[in-house]
Structure 1
């Protein structure tokens, strides 16, 4: 594949130099029809022909496969895979219609950026303490202004000095209301950017994990390694955020100790990434396998990309590992149609389903509810739910266990739940959508 975009580079360079295909073919000593096939990526180019074209175009041979085109190819293939579109002719699309390909990739990137921004704002609207305090201050100011105006509307025998005091109160409360409104406007502006400071410990943990791509090779190599160096991160500025990160790292290290990376990766490929079979082989609780599978894909290790969400029976998020284009709830309130919540209603019974998001992306979902703590006599069990989400095309390519192909995918909402779901007629809708 590295040489598959050479035709695009050759065509762009030829047009930049104002050469026709006949001109370039003559300079390189090949036929115009052969050059036409090369530029359309229908013929590979290498060896003597590649060197001849490089000399004719006055550019190094290595430049024929530029990083920008490789990045464009990767972006389009990732998007196509997530939406179940065939990728065999992605290179042909780039070669024949490079401007349209760049436009499409840009629109996909902008769509993901806007989705992340709306998700961040939706999370903050529902859970941010700053917003709660700001709303309380606004209501207090508005109440004071309303009470003062009611008094001034019927002043009776009020003296000029009293009226002056009430006017002062109006001016002061109006000024405070303006300050709160300006602070909110500034806050929302920053909330929609990728560099916005974390508003909650959970957001800080997400920024920390995103910076490490949810993988910690030092702990994979040595699960007993000191956690302190990893915790020295700019996102972990508050004590609560640091405690969340420390607990996450301790759990990651415990998983790495029980499921050594190299051995686990080999057995996962052998057992088709089946969480229950892997849990039996390594004699560990399944929830550990779910977490380990979600961080398995990396340089040097082939595995399908997997998202993972673990919640308590009350819906509190215990662990989340999203994928690009597939955000997951940070504070609960996920889509009630996800198999995860069905699994929590039937503890111990594995659930497998294919799910279709509103944007057309399809995923294989594997879910299971297991005890959060070891059960005991006379004590009620406490359950946690775990769910893996794998792009359906890649799950089938990896031969992962899935429901029969004739079963249609189940329509579900996006990870953050009803606020981010455009399915207006959904019977499970619990709150209005911000996308309506």
Structure 2
């Protein structure tokens, strides 16, 4: 098998900029000529093995960061943006998108920001009365989208917060079911009472009385999680604020949403400290039930945590994680794999995650292949939220967790599956408008890059043919 060449010009330029070095000084430290470095930074040459070793030895750089993770995300996001009908038939070929993502990632992100602004302007014009009635209406990214993109391009791993959570858990004897009692004792020692009440609010904190109230109707693991969220907001505020300063959100609303997201991140990382959960995941071959029992967490919490194990120098398996509702809308999403989720709309209907609602409390396994030929092991399960009392609405979701086929040996869920038979892999996609498959029986809209042929005297699975 031919070795895949590594082009990482943008990341080399970014590293040199962070180090404050000129090209000449950087080339000298890497042991290469100035012209050679210039060619690598412009992706005219691949990064050589000598340079990879020098990056690790001279700068302590995690060479796995030279991979194409960001580029793949940008390509996926640009393809979906270009599926907008406003571009008509003028969408650039995939090769050009990959070139832009690799050589000019800042330009790619600017394009995505521009398209997002266009979409929001279009939506506001469609509801002009509402827009005119809103004081101070101005063009800016949706706070939710801005925060989602922040975590998306951080690889869903926030190093400073993750390490702080791990340190906090270690001070109290480590993560797991025993952490809850230790946290409550610590809060009480600092004058904060923790009470339980039959209330629909999962968590409420009365700063004046210094009383934290948790809902006794919520599952045990949810109570623990909310307890740790409040700890993060009370005791880790300087760290959270410093992280938010670096992110430079465009609105106070986005910053507030992100702060709560960081507090949630801290809570999950404290329940399942990085080193401990990584070792346990490898030991159990990522058995979600065993991990949930060991750390006093829910299945969804464990699956989400596995998708964040991307610490430089100690990475876990690159997973993708998603949660969908019954309408197919993705309510949570992250991918450390080459598979990226649609930014708008729902998930591919051929994913087994949609069938999870039909089989409660059961893990569904699936072997799948995306249009780019990459194969995955997928896992799905319903994660319905109990109402806690009669008559209360039940929140129904399903989660998906998956990784590339090459990691199948590390998954207990791949045992007994025929990984060698081509027909065992179901064809799935990302979004119909950017999916290249021409024979999908579940296609909802035509693909952007295909010409339609209408045949009045013939009706196949689709009401049109794709050239």
> Do both proteins adopt the same fold according to a TM-score greater than 0.5, normalized to the shorter chain?
yes
Instruction: Measure how far apart 1:394 and its partner are.
Output: 2.0
1:237 matched to 2:250? The reply is yes
Match in the other structure for 1:337:
350
Match in the other structure for 2:374:
361
Pair 269,410 (structure 1): closer, same or farther in 2 beyond 3 Å: same
2:433 aligned residue (407, 410, 419): 419
Match in the other structure for 2:413:
401
Gaps of 5+ in 2: 5-27, 38-45, 54-66, 88-114, 129-138, 166-231, 451-467
Match in the other structure for 1:200:
142
2:162 aligned residue (220, 235, 242): 220
Match in the other structure for 1:279:
292
Pair 281,401 (structure 1): closer, same or farther in 2 beyond 3 Å: same
Q: Secondary structure at the match of 1:393?
A: helix
Instruction: Measure how far apart 1:328 and its partner are.
Output: 0.8
Pair 422,211 (structure 1): closer, same or farther in 2 beyond 3 Å: closer
For residues 420 and 337 of structure 1, the distance between their equivalents in structure 2, rounded to whole angstroms, comes to 15
1:119 matched to 2:80? The reply is yes
For residues 348 and 385 of structure 1, the distance between their equivalents in structure 2, rounded to whole angstroms, comes to 10
1:434 matched to 2:395? The reply is no
Pair 411,122 (structure 1): closer, same or farther in 2 beyond 3 Å: same
Match in the other structure for 1:261:
274
Pair 384,111 (structure 1): closer, same or farther in 2 beyond 3 Å: closer
Structure holding more helix per residue: 1
Please list, as runs of the form range in 1=range in 2, the aligned pairs for 1:79-90 lying within 5 A after superposition. Answer: none
For residues 261 and 307 of structure 2, the distance between their equivalents in structure 1, rounded to whole angstroms, comes to 14
Pair 372,435 (structure 1): closer, same or farther in 2 beyond 3 Å: farther
Q: Across the two proteins, how many residue pairs are aligned to each other?
A: 290
Match in the other structure for 1:167:
none
Pair 125,385 (structure 1): closer, same or farther in 2 beyond 3 Å: farther
Q: Secondary structure at the match of 1:222?
A: helix
Pair 372,315 (structure 1): closer, same or farther in 2 beyond 3 Å: farther
Q: Secondary structure at the match of 2:433?
A: helix
Instruction: Measure how far apart 1:376 and its partner are.
Output: 3.0
For residues 426 and 265 of structure 1, the distance between their equivalents in structure 2, rounded to whole angstroms, comes to 38
| CA offset digits 1:336-367 (Å, max 9, x no partner) | 11111111332322111111111111011111
Instruction: Measure how far apart 1:269 and its partner are.
Output: 0.8
For residues 369 and 361 of structure 2, the distance between their equivalents in structure 1, rounded to whole angstroms, comes to 25
For residues 330 and 343 of structure 1, the distance between their equivalents in structure 2, rounded to whole angstroms, comes to 22
Rg larger for: 1
For residues 75 and 375 of structure 2, the distance between their equivalents in structure 1, rounded to whole angstroms, comes to 20
Q: Is the Cα contact below 8 Å between 1:313 and 1:384 reproduced in 2?
A: yes
Pair 428,260 (structure 1): closer, same or farther in 2 beyond 3 Å: same
Q: Secondary structure at the match of 1:401?
A: helix
1:250 matched to 2:260? The reply is no
Q: Is the Cα contact below 8 Å between 1:327 and 1:414 reproduced in 2?
A: no
Match in the other structure for 2:47:
68
Please list, as runs of the form range in 1=range in 2, the aligned pairs for 1:272-351 lying within 5 A after superposition. Answer: 272-323=285-336, 325-351=338-364
Pair 135,296 (structure 1): closer, same or farther in 2 beyond 3 Å: closer
Match in the other structure for 1:162:
none
Q: Is the Cα contact below 8 Å between 2:369 and 2:425 reproduced in 1?
A: yes
For residues 290 and 125 of structure 1, the distance between their equivalents in structure 2, rounded to whole angstroms, comes to 38
Pair 423,395 (structure 1): closer, same or farther in 2 beyond 3 Å: same
Pair 335,348 (structure 1): closer, same or farther in 2 beyond 3 Å: same
Q: Is the Cα contact below 8 Å between 2:31 and 2:51 reproduced in 1?
A: no
Pair 209,235 (structure 1): closer, same or farther in 2 beyond 3 Å: farther
Q: Is the Cα contact below 8 Å between 1:294 and 1:307 reproduced in 2?
A: yes
Q: How does the TM-score come out when normalised to structure 2?
A: 0.53
Match in the other structure for 1:131:
119
Q: How does the TM-score come out when normalised to structure 1?
A: 0.57
Q: Is the Cα contact below 8 Å between 2:320 and 2:337 reproduced in 1?
A: no
Pair 430,217 (structure 1): closer, same or farther in 2 beyond 3 Å: same
For residues 61 and 228 of structure 1, the distance between their equivalents in structure 2, rounded to whole angstroms, comes to 36
